[in-house]
Amino acid sequence: MNNAKALPSYLLQRYQGWKATGYAENQTWYRRLAAEGQRPRAMVISCCDSRVHVTSIFGADQGEFFIHRNIANLVPPYEPDGKQHGTSAAVEYAVNALKVAHLIVLGHSSCGGVAGCIQMCQGKAPELEGQDSFVGRWMDLLRPKYEKVENVEDPAEQQLQLERQAVMTSLENLMTFPWIKEKVEDGTLSLHGLWTDIGEGSLEYYDAKSGEFEPV
Amino acid sequence: MNNAKALPSYLLQRYQGWKATGYAENQTWYRRLAAEGQRPRAMVISCCDSRVHVTSIFGADQGEFFIHRNIANLVPPYEPDGKQHGTSAAVEYAVNALKVAHLIVLGHSSCGGVAGCIQMCQGKAPELEGQDSFVGRWMDLLRPKYEKVENVEDPAEQQLQLERQAVMTSLENLMTFPWIKEKVEDGTLSLHGLWTDIGEGSLEYYDAKSGEFEPV
Amino acid sequence: MNNAKALPSYLLQRYQGWKATGYAENQTWYRRLAAEGQRPRAMVISCCDSRVHVTSIFGADQGEFFIHRNIANLVPPYEPDGKQHGTSAAVEYAVNALKVAHLIVLGHSSCGGVAGCIQMCQGKAPELEGQDSFVGRWMDLLRPKYEKVENVEDPAEQQLQLERQAVMTSLENLMTFPWIKEKVEDGTLSLHGLWTDIGEGSLEYYDAKSGEFEPV
Amino acid sequence: MNNAKALPSYLLQRYQGWKATGYAENQTWYRRLAAEGQRPRAMVISCCDSRVHVTSIFGADQGEFFIHRNIANLVPPYEPDGKQHGTSAAVEYAVNALKVAHLIVLGHSSCGGVAGCIQMCQGKAPELEGQDSFVGRWMDLLRPKYEKVENVEDPAEQQLQLERQAVMTSLENLMTFPWIKEKVEDGTLSLHGLWTDIGEGSLEYYDAKSGEFEPV
């Protein structure tokens, strides 16, 4: 591998600033985390989107959340076929090795992955249809839910509803993992579905009783 | 899905604190991000480990980094087989849709995934060998590199070297994606390999010239 | 004193969140508490254990409970020898200056102090035996009660019984303070013994009639 | 012990409310805390005063802070004489058994213990002078600092300055414990001094460089 480059200088400068301040002030905590290992309370499954910082929203510090981020915060169903499943590996490590108490799926507004899924389902994104489109194949996970929103006329409302379906899909798929189902049923693990509006800073949660998303 | 629960109250309280401060103070920026979409300058591929906050280390604000986090910050090789590849989907979206200028792979000390890989390679982790171990199958991506470190006698040094191999493996695999190779070669995308020590707050980068990791 | 450091930033951020929400919403109450002084209805003597929040369990707001927390919620006997007795000072201030109506001793499951006491009594904790072990000397307060549980074979049951003995010891020792005994006898002060199970969230109280702990 | 009474009904009712809500929503977390033990990040030494809720100010949940509360948040000097020292026992358990990363001393406005100390020092509180005044003897810990504030004419300012001296005294005394000094010097433990104004909700920290308390 001879193509890697040194860090851009603006990042180098920011790193040195953090080292002299954020790190220096919390050195004892970093050393303890290093010596004793992590023991996070929750796993958060969030989108890669640069506008969603789960650590900001919840004032979380180093050591609190085990965080997996992928396109559209999707969890595939349980499929132990011996192949690579990065999301399932992250969930397995959190639940079985770290024994987190909470699995939180966090969706968000203006999700590019969800928008691409709608385009695909409406036949407007041939570039996502091929075997060589990883984004397209990944969004196939959400595709069956499009029928629940296809009659919504307002595009913004349709997008929002499919974003919420993405959160619900992940919650449903999490329950197909036998060791998650068991822990949820015996009360040692709880699942949470959230959706945040980037522009408004609002937060909604999936209410299992009403089957709707409600403001927190 | 009837098992989801409301947000634990401590997170609710912290969210409301953020809404009244962090969000309120930056509302104009959040609204602009929502209205105009994201335009991150870099993608970071980091570990799910709760002790690694790339946004802290680099003082990054909302909108700056497109972040994928998985176990051991691994990127699989290009494999357009029509199946789900979450990491490849995230990379594709960052490079082809968002046109980021930098792909940064960030490894770290005390990585649980790397430790598991070593256990597997030494025949000490039968629980990771089965088809139903997502962590084990995911760490197969790094397994071929074990031979480079198997003669290292000090276990701490061995772990550290394999953590660096994980970063190098991801850099190598990124170059198997044809649209990444092309952009790297025409100078519109650069790759960066980093490794951070959690306890010391230090940062090293992969130096393509020496083939070694060097302090920044 | 030149070793003190500034507040870790995650606490700073959370404080600012509280200031903008919890404080702002209750400013009139905080100001009145500051202007008029506290007038708590009860004193609670609880353990330092991070898992026991008496304010959560009883939905208590600022101003309601005068709270002393020490290892294993122990009250020493009345010993007016002119030396420092922090617990006795707290009790004196609550009863004589603030004239609380209730003294509540709250024990809990998995108490580390009680576990240490059992280890000492079984000769398994030499590190707690020296003059320089403040934890060991503090747990001497409970040591005479070990004989009541030494024949209990199940270690979990033994621990639980000694935790309850700790609550009863404190109640007994409180009655050795002459100004407490007097107030209890003339009906202006009442004592209460409680024990909570952290994992189950259950609560039991000491029933003076049966001499047993009963579910509330 | 035949004087203990059942819980007052208003507390019983609130407990049952918490059990059905706060506990039920976080059952998985409480069970995990019970099964795995506590691992708090910080110890807080705060006053018993009913108006100071460190868990509110810092949005802390069960498991985060190991909390000792006594009159005027005072730590006595290291005195391994084989007698009971409740505060020293709590500090020993936090530092040596739990290995917390932070020791935080939190003082506050309108502190009754500090006010009593001023009264004593001005000869206006004969009732605090006797051997049988536990509050008086406890406040002897702060008494030598009165000379630093005795020329302050404004009584409110004098009280405030002595409250800050109480925080500094505790920080100084903490450093007389050999195992604290060692950890502070090798960077695995940090000390923090804070003072909060109850009515204003403000927070100040002791700045070792300036030797003054500064707003956070």
| Closest CA relative to residue C46, chosen from C168, C195, C173 | C195
Task: For chain B, give the mean pLDDT.
Answer: 95
pLDDT at A2: 65
* Stretch among B31-35, B191-195, D23-27 having the lowest mean pLDDT: D23-27
Q: Determine, yes or no, domain membership for B154.
A: yes
Residues C6 and C58 in one domain: no
Of D65, D71, D200, Cβ closest to residue C93: D71
Tell me, rounded to whole angstroms, the distance of Cα C93 from its chain centroid: 15
CB C18 to CB B21 under 8 A? no
Structure tokens at D133: 């005044």
CB A29 to CB C8 under 8 A? yes
How distant is the Cα of B15 from the closest Cα of chain C, in angstroms? 8
How distant is the Cα of C162 from the closest Cα of chain D, in angstroms? 16
| Chains touching C by CB (3 or more pairs below 8 Å) | A, B, D
Of D36, D41, D187, Cβ closest to residue A31: D187
For residue D77, the chain C residue with the least C-alpha distance is C84
Number of domains in chain A: 2
Residues A15 and A47 in one domain: no
CB D101 to CB A59 under 8 A? no
Binning pLDDT at 50, 70 and 90, where does residue A1 land? low
Residues C53 and C29 in one domain: no
3-state secondary structure of C211: coil
CB D22 to CB B13 under 8 A? no
How distant is the Cα of C163 from the closest Cα of chain B, in angstroms? 28
Structure tokens at D140: 């002897």
pLDDT above 70: residue D196: yes
- Mean pLDDT, rounded, for A101-114: 97
Q: Determine, yes or no, domain membership for B101.
A: yes
| Chains touching A by CB (3 or more pairs below 8 Å) | B, C, D
How distant is the Cα of C12 from the closest Cα of chain B, in angstroms? 11
Of A7, A17, A76, Cβ closest to residue B194: A7
Using one digit for the tens of pLDDT, what is the confidence trace for B51-62?
998 999 998 889
Residues D21 and D67 in one domain: no
Tell me how many degrees the CA angle A172-B72-B85 measures, rounded to the nearest 5. 50
Residues B54 and B149 in one domain: yes
Q: Which of D25, D31, D56 to mutate to test the interface with B (most CBs of B within 10 A)?
A: D25
Residues D183 and D101 in one domain: yes
Gap between the Cα atoms of C207 and D5, Å rounded: 7
Task: Name every chain B residue with its beta carbon within 8 A of the beta carbon of A40.
Answer: 50
CB A29 to CB D189 under 8 A? no
The interaxial angle of helices C112-121 and C155-174, nearest 10 deg, is 100
Half-sphere exposure of D21 (CA within 13 A, CB side): 12
Using one digit for the tens of pLDDT, what is the confidence trace for C65-120?
999 999 999 999 999 999 999 999 999 999 999 999 999 999 999 999 999 999 99
CB B9 to CB D29 under 8 A? no
pLDDT at C2: 64
Residues B196 and B134 in one domain: yes
Q: Determine, yes or no, domain membership for B67.
A: yes
Of B27, B67, B110, Cβ closest to residue A34: B110
Half-sphere exposure of D59 (CA within 13 A, CB side): 29
Structure tokens at D196: 């909060």
pLDDT tens, position by position, for chain C (216 residues)?
A: 567 888 888 888 899 999 999 899 899 999 999 999 999 999 999 999 999 989 899 988 899 999 999 999 999 999 999 999 999 999 999 999 999 999 999 999 999 999 999 999 999 999 999 999 999 999 999 999 999 999 999 999 999 999 999 999 999 999 999 999 999 999 999 999 999 999 999 999 999 999 999 999
Residues D76 and D169 in one domain: yes
Residues B115 and B11 in one domain: no
- Mean pLDDT, rounded, for A123-150: 97
Question: Residue A26 sits in which domain range?
Answer: 1-37
Share of chain D above pLDDT 70, in %: 99
- Mean pLDDT, rounded, for A176-180: 98
For residue A13, the chain B residue with the least C-alpha distance is B58
Instruction: List the CATH number of the domain containing D54.
Output: 3.40.1050.10
Q: Is D48 annotated as a binding residue?
A: no
Q: Is B81 annotated as a binding residue?
A: no
Phi, psi of B59, deg, nearest 5: 50, 40
Touching D: B residues 16-75, CB under 8 Å: 17
For residue B3, the chain D residue with the least C-alpha distance is D25
Q: Is D108 annotated as a binding residue?
A: yes
Q: Is B68 annotated as a binding residue?
A: no
Residues B32 and B54 in one domain: no
Binning pLDDT at 50, 70 and 90, where does residue B2 land? low
For residue A105, the chain B residue with the least C-alpha distance is B4
CB A61 to CB C8 under 8 A? yes
Q: Determine, yes or no, domain membership for B1.
A: no
Gap between the Cα atoms of D104 and D43, Å rounded: 6
**Is C188's Cβ below 8 Å from some Cβ in B?**
no
How distant is the Cα of A42 from the closest Cα of chain D, in angstroms? 9
Gap between the Cα atoms of C60 and D14, Å rounded: 9
Task: Name every chain B residue with its beta carbon within 8 A of the beta carbon of D22.
Answer: 9
- Mean pLDDT, rounded, for D85-92: 98
For residue B80, the chain A residue with the least C-alpha distance is A132
CB C16 to CB B21 under 8 A? yes
Residues B126 and B211 in one domain: yes
Three-state secondary structure readout of C84-142: CCHHHHHHHHHHHHCCCCEEEEEEECCCHHHHHHHHHHCCCCHHHCCCCCHHHHHHCCC
- Check if the beta carbon of residue D203 is closer than 8 Å to that of residue D115: no
The interaxial angle of helices D155-174 and D112-121, nearest 10 deg, is 100
Structure tokens at B117: 């890989």
Q: Sheet containing D42-47: give its strands across.
A: C212-215, C202-207, C190-197, C102-108, C42-47, C65-70, D65-70, D42-47, D102-108, D190-197, D202-207, D212-215
| Closest CA relative to residue B187, chosen from A6, A3, A2 | A3
Task: For chain A, give the mean pLDDT.
Answer: 94
Residues B52 and B153 in one domain: yes
Q: Residue with structure tokens 């100010």? A: D57
